[in-house]
């Protein structure tokens, strides 16, 4: 699984325990369409289904409500809301959508989103990154190289996530840094759904190195260009993996 979002980056804390199990099950059913818009969820039936207390179900419903997936109406119950109301940047919503149908389309949509903010963040990082942040990015690239050779995709994923989180934080923009959880889930989705090659593309690693070097050199244009190339390479890989003969 992807590393849990940290409480200091603006991402929601991960659910755990019984209410987390209920949350994951019901949330995944809603975003997949198995429980469609307008459906009414009854708390008494959910506690029977999952074999948990009503307070556990209520806590799960509270979180789903905070994510825009449901709303509670008097004399009606818990109503599933339309897709337009969902908080689509919530890392858990992204994870559930990637676990369901339309995974490739969701990844490509997220790639378009990333293209809109990560190159900008890389350019800002070239102007604002600290030595420590530059060192973290360089170390992450080295770790990616090591784990690619070892063909350890989970360890490679962890290093890749460290790189992108460090880059976003180095932008010096708290709004951009808060999107690290989104990028974490995109990267994890490719790995956990077999949309990554067994041995990561050396070109992708080279581009990460170029971003780190450009940021360290204070070259905003080069950092922007290399980050754009990273996202384009990832999107092309998703398209290739999704082809029937791939």
User: DSSP character for 152?
Assistant: -
Distance, CA of 96 to CA of 202 (rounded, Å): 30
Whose CA is closest to 78, among 133, 6, 23, 123?
23
Give residue 11's pLDDT. Answer: 39
Give residue 9's pLDDT. Answer: 40
Give residue 242's pLDDT. Answer: 66
Give residue 182's pLDDT. Answer: 95
CATH of domain 102-242: 1.20.120.530
Which sequence spans correspond to the domains of the chain? Answer: 17-85, 102-242
* pLDDT, one tens digit for every residue, the chain (246 residues): 344 343 334 334 344 577 789 999 999 999 999 999 999 999 989 999 999 999 999 999 999 999 999 999 988 889 999 999 999 999 999 999 999 888 888 999 999 999 999 999 999 999 999 999 999 999 999 999 999 999 999 999 999 999 999 999 999 999 999 999 999 999 999 999 888 888 899 999 999 999 999 999 999 999 999 999 999 999 988 887 767 554
The distance of Cα 188 from the centroid of its chain, to the nearest Å, equals 7
CATH of domain 17-85: 1.10.10.10
Whose CA is closest to 191, among 95, 123, 53, 115?
95
Distance, CA of 102 to CA of 98 (rounded, Å): 8
Give residue 244's pLDDT. Answer: 59
């Amino acid at each position: 699984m992807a590393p849990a979002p940290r409480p200091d980056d603006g991402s929601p804390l991960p659910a755990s325990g019984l209410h987390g199990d209920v949350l994951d099950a019901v949330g995944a059913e809603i975003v997949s369409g198995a429980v469609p818009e307008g459906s009414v969820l009854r708390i008494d039936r959910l506690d029977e289904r999952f074999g948990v207390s009503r307070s556990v179900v209520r806590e799960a419903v509270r979180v789903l409500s905070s994510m825009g997936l449901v709303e509670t109406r008097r004399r009606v119950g818990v109503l599933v809301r339309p897709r337009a109301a969902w908080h689509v940047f919530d890392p858990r919503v992204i994870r559930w959508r990637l676990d369901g149908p339309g995974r490739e389309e969701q990844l490509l949509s997220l790639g378009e989103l990333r293209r809109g903010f990560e190159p900008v963040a890389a350019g800002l990082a070239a102007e604002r990154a600290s030595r420590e942040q530059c060192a973290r990015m360089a170390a992450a690239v080295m770790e990616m190289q090591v784990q690619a050779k070892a063909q350890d995709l989970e360890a490679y994923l962890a290093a890749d996530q460290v790189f992108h989180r460090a880059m976003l934080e180095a932008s010096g923009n708290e709004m951009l840094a808060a999107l690290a959880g989104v990028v974490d889930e995109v990267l994890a989705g490719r790995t956990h759904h077999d949309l990554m090659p067994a041995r990561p593309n050396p070109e992708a690693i080279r581009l990460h190195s170029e971003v780190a070097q450009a940021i360290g050199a204070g070259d905003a244009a080069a950092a922007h260009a290399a980050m754009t190339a990273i996202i384009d390479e990832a999107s092309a890989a998703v398209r290739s993996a999704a082809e029937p003969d791939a």
